[in-house]
Structure 1
Amino acid sequence: MTDPPEATVALPAAVVEWYEKFSRFNSPYPAHRRGRAVDLYPGDGVGRSPVAGVVRAVRTVGCPDRPYAAAEDHLIVVDLADKWCARAGVPTGTVARILHVIPEVSPGDRVAVGDALGPTTRSGFFGQWVDDHVHLGFRPPDANPFRASGSLPVAVDAPVEPVAWDGTGAVVERGPTHVVLGAPRRGDGERSFAALASDGGVPLDGGATHYAGGGAFEIGSETPATGGSEPAALEPGDAVSLFGTPVGTATEHGSEAAVGAPRIEWDPVDVLANGERVVGLSLFAARGDRFGVKLVCPDREFSVGESVTVEVVPSDDPIRLGVG
């Protein structure tokens, strides 16, 4: 007798609209690699609740020791309201797990979508170039919500506009280990989400290619690629290219593969900025004036206003960052 299929949490568009950015695959951790977590970026330092329900537990947990990060992180466990479960297509009793927020809520508190749970925290679980965010995962009824593994698949019910880019742009923001380029240019829908498009018009997600895998966003019929061509859906086994160079292959679906939009296994390639190798591109869906391409470059300095050309080339020794 086979086990029944797992429920997939369909995160409603009305939830992600509380945030400036979101990503399913931009992390080296197994939950993200398998499409079983989503990171939601508020942009204002407030860790808003992406779910409705009652807080079951709040715990302080240890995290990797990083000089730029707090010494501890926090887990907020929420028993989801029946209406929220119905809207997301999961059984009553499903539980949410929220990380990277300093809790200002307590067990027994009732929370609604958009309620402030507390300020976000700089956690050692993510890289210095990663913006503060709310990590969200789900557990089925009767599962142990405190274990690090066992999360349900997560899909995001929000279309993302694929935006074409020629790889050139000026630096508009500089951090200790990254810069943001003020390109590509997007359409008029500043309230909708957009992401860098592959050569085939597929919006890309993840750390390209400093994490072993990335993924794609759902496109939606109302968001054609810049340039007027309708992008084809990315199917498992399809090749993906960027700036004319093959960069990966969509994986087959299955029990260990990502759900929803396919996961992409990156090819051995390097990302170059003005001809020099950098760590990679940090890709996500964003909206408004926060949209741009984040270049991860801890060993390379760029000035605000400097023009940068990004290329992708085959590599015998690609950069791959783990979780240690």
Structure 2
Amino acid sequence: MVTVPAATLSHFRRFSLFNSPYAAHDRGCAIDCYPESNRGLSPVAGTVVDTRTVRAPERPYAVAEDHLILIDTGDHVARILHVDPDVAAGDRIAVGDDLGGMVRSGFFGPWVDNHVHLGFRDPDANPYRAAGSLPVEVDVSVRALDWDGGGVVREAAETYVVLDRPRHPDPGSWAGLAVAPGVVLDGGCPHYEGGGVLPALGDAVPVEVAGTRVGVADGRAVTWDDVTLRANGRPITGLSLFVARDADVGAKLVCPGHDFAPGDRIRVSATR
């Protein structure tokens, strides 16, 4: 287990360990860090080992190539993706340094904001393989925000809408959607294979959204039930869940092809 400290996360407005369809995030083995701007800030300190351009899945809204930056942190090799590097092998890096411009590649869903992907490998492990990173934990307290499924559309884009609830009572602290007192839900519910909770729960603990069970937690990992989320009765793809310290933490509904507009009142429900 590798711990990402609070001082590191203070350079970012949001983070997620489970909100991804890729194996690199299975069981929280990577973390996505969302910067305030479109510059890729380094979440680690160390020496750049290598940079490499990699092919990305073809998507009409994305560039065809992504980039891998490897940084030797002393104890581990950090794998960083989604940044077009302005650094090279041998460069010394501090936490918060600008690594380069953000890349929006085919690894992104169209509703996903730009972010820095971070994983860690043991020094003797192959750092180029997509899978095989160590589990990641975060050294921050999270505030669990109750949500009854309701809200007003604050932002509407082609593939998603963001509601004005739940509201962040103390921007600057870390908060996310509550599934239990002091426990936050993370991930793509239910459109990605699984999700997670912070901090960990026990074995076979039911997880609810808007009063309906949507999955089961075993430790940090959540397995979704066979559920459909609906907005005002219409099926949607799901909820995009993360931990945020910015004021705009409201529920993000993934719903390509929607006809919602800012000001619309929405009620989210789940059917099993």
Identify whether the pair has TM-score above 0.5, normalized to the shorter chain.
Answer: yes
SS in 2 for 1:14: helix
SS in 2 for 1:299: coil
Counterpart residue number, 1:191 = 172
The reply to whether residue 95 of structure 1 matches residue 63 of structure 2 is no
Please say if residues 199 and 244 of structure 1, whose CA atoms lie closer than 8 Å, have aligned partners that are also in contact.
Answer: no
Aligned length, in residue pairs: 272
* Aligned partner of 2:257 among 294, 299, 305: 299
Deviation at 1:61, TM superposition (A): 0.2
Please say if residues 78 and 96 of structure 1, whose CA atoms lie closer than 8 Å, have aligned partners that are also in contact.
Answer: yes
Counterpart residue number, 1:268 = 226
What amino acid is aligned across from residue 178 of structure 1 in structure 2?
A: Y
Counterpart residue number, 1:290 = 248
What amino acid is aligned across from residue 290 of structure 1 in structure 2?
A: D
The reply to whether residue 158 of structure 1 matches residue 151 of structure 2 is no
Could you tell me how far apart the structure 2 residues matched to 1:76 and 1:186 are? 34
Please say if residues 153 and 161 of structure 2, whose CA atoms lie closer than 8 Å, have aligned partners that are also in contact.
Answer: yes
What amino acid is aligned across from residue 65 of structure 2 in structure 1?
A: E
% same residue: 54
What amino acid is aligned across from residue 185 of structure 1 in structure 2?
A: R
Poorly superposed stretches of 4+, deviation over 2 Å: 199-202
Deviation at 1:296, TM superposition (A): 0.2
Please say if residues 200 and 240 of structure 1, whose CA atoms lie closer than 8 Å, have aligned partners that are also in contact.
Answer: no
SS in 1 for 2:103: coil
Please say if residues 280 and 296 of structure 1, whose CA atoms lie closer than 8 Å, have aligned partners that are also in contact.
Answer: yes
SS in 2 for 1:198: strand
5+ residue gaps, structure 2: none
Q: Tell me which structure has the larger Cα radius of gyration.
A: 1
Give deviations 1:110-155, integer Å, cap 9, x for gaps. Answer: 1100000011111111200000000000110121111112211111
SS in 1 for 2:28: coil
Please say if residues 158 and 258 of structure 2, whose CA atoms lie closer than 8 Å, have aligned partners that are also in contact.
Answer: no
Please say if residues 148 and 211 of structure 2, whose CA atoms lie closer than 8 Å, have aligned partners that are also in contact.
Answer: no
Deviation at 1:29, TM superposition (A): 1.0
Counterpart residue number, 2:35 = 42
Deviation at 1:170, TM superposition (A): 1.1
Structure with higher strand content = 2
* Aligned partner of 1:209 among 190, 196, 215: 190
5+ residue gaps, structure 1: 1-7, 83-91, 219-232, 254-261, 315-324
Give deviations 1:182-202, integer Å, cap 9, x for gaps. Answer: 111232x21111001126652
Could you tell me how far apart the structure 2 residues matched to 1:163 and 1:72 are? 37
Counterpart residue number, 1:144 = 126
Could you tell me how far apart the structure 2 residues matched to 1:148 and 1:304 are? 39
Give deviations 1:297-317, integer Å, cap 9, x for gaps. Answer: 002121011111111111xxx
What amino acid is aligned across from residue 287 of structure 1 in structure 2?
A: R
Q: Residues 5-16 of structure 1 correspond to what in structure 2 (within 5 A)?
A: 8-16=1-9
CA RMSD of aligned residues (A): 1.3
Could you tell me how far apart the structure 1 residues matched to 2:141 and 2:203 are? 19
Please say if residues 24 and 130 of structure 2, whose CA atoms lie closer than 8 Å, have aligned partners that are also in contact.
Answer: no
Deviation at 1:282, TM superposition (A): 0.1
Could you tell me how far apart the structure 2 residues matched to 1:193 and 1:18 are? 13
What amino acid is aligned across from residue 207 of structure 1 in structure 2?
A: G
SS in 2 for 1:290: coil
Could you tell me how far apart the structure 2 residues matched to 1:200 and 1:157 are? 18
Please say if residues 167 and 247 of structure 2, whose CA atoms lie closer than 8 Å, have aligned partners that are also in contact.
Answer: no
